[in-house]
Amino acid sequence: MTNTLHRYGSPESLRDDFIVFAIPSKSNREGSGPKLRAFLEIAAKHGPINMGGGGKGGFYRPSERVTPLVHWRARAAVPPSAVIEGCENPGTVAAVFDDVEKVKALLAELRQRDLGMSINVSALTEDARRAAEAAGLTRHSVEYSLGFAFGETDRMPDRLTLELATMCGHGMVAFGLVQKLCHLVKEGRRTPAEAARCLARFCTCGVFNVTRAERLLVESLALTRGPRTTKEES
């Protein structure tokens, strides 16, 4: 099971969310570093929107200089080469995509390279199955998340907050930060793209999907403002 299994949202809201992991087992963990870096190099060729490994962060990272304003300033994403170079210790690495065709191409190349690593695709189950079949692979197993069904669910935050925050499976994207950025977007003080990239900085695994986050914020903004009316209609 991966930490991306519990991404919250409807199937429609997850249509552009695909995470491909390379995971060494206990038996082949020793000496797996070059293979994991090879996975990231292959993934980088297929246009990921985020990528991470080694606990160093993904394309979007927090600043080493901690000040009250540091996370509100625009900063360029780090290149894939920086992510690959930062993968120094054996562990899980991942690449995030917003297009299933890119996932199909990646899986096909991984099949040819045969790195000896377990490959996990975290996505809608039918999309993952079709991607595997297109690459000539037979799906080994499936794991499902049953969602939030028990406990005091009335104390959970709103749907949009959950959809954004659960894109970091380790809970590093705080509910309060998500809600603050949602307010800033509604007030016009941040664009959806700026807010999405700010949230992504706190996910040190690099599995936060900035494309999906930006789309969710745009959709929420459209619902908040409602349809525009002309003078004739008013």
Q: pLDDT tens, 66-100? A: 666 665 666 778 899 999 998 887 888 999 999 99
Task: Find the mean pLDDT for residues 119-135.
Answer: 94
Evaluate whether 76 touches 197 at the Cβ level (below 8 Å). no
pLDDT tens digits along 10-22: 999 999 999 999 9
What is the band of 56 on the pLDDT scale with cuts at 50, 70, 90?
Answer: confident
Residue 99: burial class (beta carbons within 10 Å; 0-12, 13-18, 19+): middle
3-state helix, strand, coil in the chain (%, to 5): 40, 10, 50
- Assign residue 67 a region (left: φ > 0; alpha: ψ between -120 and 50; beta: otherwise): beta
pLDDT at site 32: 84
Phi and psi of 122, rounded to 5°? -100, 110
pTM score, whole prediction: 0.88
Mean pLDDT of the chain: 88
Q: Is the pLDDT of residue 234 over 50?
A: no
